[in-house]
Structure 1
Amino acid sequence: MQTPEISVIIPIYNSILYIRQCLESVINQSFKNLEILCIDAYSNDGTAEILEEFATKDARIIIIKSKKKSLGAQINLGLAKAKGKYFCIVESDDYAHLKMCEVLHKLIEEKNCDIVKADICAFKKVFFKTHFNYKSIAYEQALYGKILFLQEDLNPLLKSWNMNQSSLYRLDFVKQFKIKANESLGASYQDTGLWILFLSFAKTLYFHNEALYFYRLDNANSSSLNKEKIYCVCDEFDFAQSFLKQYPEQKIRLQEALTYVQFKVYWWNFKRLANRFKKEFALYFAKEFQKKYADKHINEAFFNQAELQILKALMNDPEHFVKTWLSFNFILRKRLARYKRKIITFVKIKK
């Protein structure tokens, strides 16, 4: 049997609504030399039967059972079993462009990088119609189209979306440093900790500005829609920091950059939480960053003016900060600003 060039890792649990589309997008890739590792956490909604159906038709599909219902544990099982030179992750409620593996493989071979990463297309259904929205993985255009040397350049960590899909990774550096995902239960932002570790130990990265992955925003079970997962993102930073203790030089080199990334992720988390949880999280947020200032782990040069104002107001009086955030006048201003941005975007599209 031919040794696979790429291992496709698909963590799965109760994905009956999406699994067919996901698997069809992988088995029909234009690049054929794949192994398809379906890591199923004992689905009980009919998903397991569909996996068996596909496996009887395509010998590249390998079904692996995970006793732990944890996205991180399932990814780790996939990494342990992977035989490819490279690997990618496709989540079971998403699907891949049919040329994703071909394009990324060509790039990673040509550029001789540890990671190549493409943009994504986020999508959701509104009134039975699917709406697609192009999303850039890197936040600055200058990061695209060139080899980025991660041990010297912090910008990819500071200025990219911390998700692991739409990427191809060289397996040997992951094995070398024994990089693993956090095995917290469910799908609870394990992307965050894993992306930090990938960028901490990879030597080179290449961003490709083409959407090659379709990312679902309308899955009701998605962790990003779960308003009650208060501290999951915090667990990811604790996990990454704990892992980096094994590599003190890396930890010191990355400390200030990771603090900035932590602020960005905590701020995103604060905004997405249900209102009843905002005060609790704001108090935790403030305490964490007060300690970071005391430990001199904050480099204000990484922050823009608005971010610094938010951080200092929150640390100074988190309860007042939340009260202001939830006030009628502030909510009204936010909504008006959001509508203004939508109108500007609409006008630009029409032009």
Structure 2
Amino acid sequence: MFYAAEDNNVIKVSILIPVYNVEKYLKQCLCSVVNQTLKEIEIICVDDGSTDSSGQILDDYAQKDSRIKVLHKENSGYGDSLNRALETAQGEYIGILESDDFAEPDMYEFLYQIAVSESLDCVKSNYYRYSEEGRVYHEALRNCDYGVVFSADENMEKFFTGAINIWAGIYRREFLLKNDIRFLCTPGASYQDLSFWFKVYVSAERSCFTKRAFINYRVDNSASSVKSKDKVFFICDEVAECKKYLYRTNRSLDVFYPRLIKIMYAVYRWNANRIAVSHLKEFMNRIVPEMKEDKQGRYMDRTIFEDWQWEEFRCMVELSDAFIRMQYIQRGNELCENNKVYGQMIVKYLCDRDIYIYGAGKYGKRLKHLLRQNGYNREIRYLVSEIDDCKKEGNVTCITDASLDKQKVVVVAVADVVKKVDMLEKAREQGFQQVFAIDDVIRNLFEK
């Protein structure tokens, strides 16, 4: 359903869509915005020099719906595309939509009503993880308070625990302009939403979260690693931009810099899991001096890290060679003589412990096989988050089963970083006192 905008309509939300070679998903994305229940919108699409039919698709939609504005330009990157769209936008609020995702029909009406009623700078929501097999509700803001208006310095602990994304909410345009919140322009860069996200959160005086989900975030290709060497260090540029913004805008360093150190650890750890292993050592050589400097600096706050996070942070800084070896093991690559050596070491660490393996997929089964190969003879039971997570084969139990022995060690065995964090938290919530990921076990071995 297309719409002809009236000249005297006040634009309530400007929806910015950066586009580059996404012809496969673009129509679904555009249909989701032209069919929004909020009609007083403008849709600004920036074609970043696409070489497929994306540009033509945008022009075709713009001819049918006068709310769509298309900017064609030479390829200059994601950040520059969104900055140009921001300069063009006239809406009271700004929404950002990735061109391979799509929104629920009432997204912008629902968020706009909350924003206006509470005079918000920013309102954020949860989202759906979407693939061709279906979608799953992802409560990225589960540790936050819903429906409560606050600023970052009033609720620091929960404010920075939500997922780093910029597309699950809307932002007051005047607030962005006043606080000089723009994207970092680095041609060909990735992860350029980090510094925008950080700038919003340290600047917003009135923010609010809703439990509802609206964005269908496509995860079909989310596990692919970064193959191009040129993209390895862009996350470092984003972290540097966050630090510069704190100094440039005279934000309270005592309040915000410790949180930025924790964010730096999280995104560097995430990037290390994604980049091609051939680039890993070079990446570690780049980030370790920075992490070490911050670890020893005046703004380091150990208390805001969970114990397992702090140990991982310390491992990355002080035992970077061991950290690299862990990455090779996790990805099934041999770094030294053979994996049998590591299997023997893992068994040595776990030999006098009764364990559950949390994760019954390929990674969990690989761990069990490795243990058995190297002489671990105790009973091994798999735990899963939901009993439907895997086939109902022998020795599979749901993590919430009250009969489980809380004195046993839970070893999380999963390759996906996001799932690993969720599983670690869930196991601790169930009352298990000794919870490790398999890389934690290996790290402990290297430290001995």
User: Normalising by the residue count of structure 2, what TM-score does the alignment of the two structures yield?
Assistant: 0.71
Is the Cα contact below 8 Å between 2:189 and 2:234 reproduced in 1? no
CA distance in 2, matches of 1:93, 1:150: 30
Q: Which amino acid aligns with 1:346?
A: E
Q: Which amino acid aligns with 1:59?
A: S
Deviation at 1:326, TM superposition (A): 2.8
1:33-83 alpha-carbon deviations (Å, 9 max, x no partner): 001101111222111111111111100011112334311111111111110
| Paired residues for 1:93-172 under 5 Å | 93-125=100-132, 130-140=133-143, 142-172=144-174
Partner of 1:238: 240
* Alignment match of 2:67 (pick from 26, 47, 60): 60
CA distance in 1, matches of 2:255, 2:174: 23
The SS at the match of 2:208 is strand
The SS at the match of 1:147 is coil
Q: Which amino acid aligns with 1:159?
A: T
Is the Cα contact below 8 Å between 2:20 and 2:47 reproduced in 1? yes
Is 2:216 aligned against 1:195?
A: no
Deviation at 1:139, TM superposition (A): 4.3
Is the Cα contact below 8 Å between 1:12 and 1:39 reproduced in 2? yes
The SS at the match of 1:112 is coil
* Alignment match of 2:184 (pick from 168, 182, 185): 182
Distance 1:111 1:210, change over 3 A: same
CA distance in 2, matches of 1:227, 1:272: 9
Is the Cα contact below 8 Å between 1:158 and 1:260 reproduced in 2? no
Is 2:346 aligned against 1:344?
A: no
Pairwise CA RMSD? 2.5
Structure exhibiting the larger radius of gyration computed from Cα positions: 2
CA distance in 1, matches of 2:265, 2:142: 16
CA distance in 2, matches of 1:345, 1:191: 30
User: Higher relative contact order at CA 8 Å, sep ≥6: structure 1 or structure 2?
Assistant: 1
The SS at the match of 1:283 is helix
The SS at the match of 2:31 is helix
Once the two structures are aligned, what percentage of the paired residues are identical?
Answer: 26
* Alignment match of 1:283 (pick from 282, 285, 289): 285
* Alignment match of 2:84 (pick from 56, 77, 81): 77
1:99-150 alpha-carbon deviations (Å, 9 max, x no partner): 101111111122221111111111123xxxx23122123241x422211222
Distance 1:195 1:325, change over 3 A: same
Structure 2 unaligned blocks of 5 or more:
1-6, 330-338, 348-356, 365-381, 390-397, 401-448
Question: In the comparison of the two structures, how many residue pairs are matched?
Answer: 342
**Comparing both structures, which one devotes a greater share of its residues to helix?**
1
Partner of 2:211: 209
Is 2:7 aligned against 1:4?
A: no
Structure 1 unaligned blocks of 5 or more:
none
The SS at the match of 1:108 is helix
1:259-301 alpha-carbon deviations (Å, 9 max, x no partner): 1111111111112222222323233332211111232231001
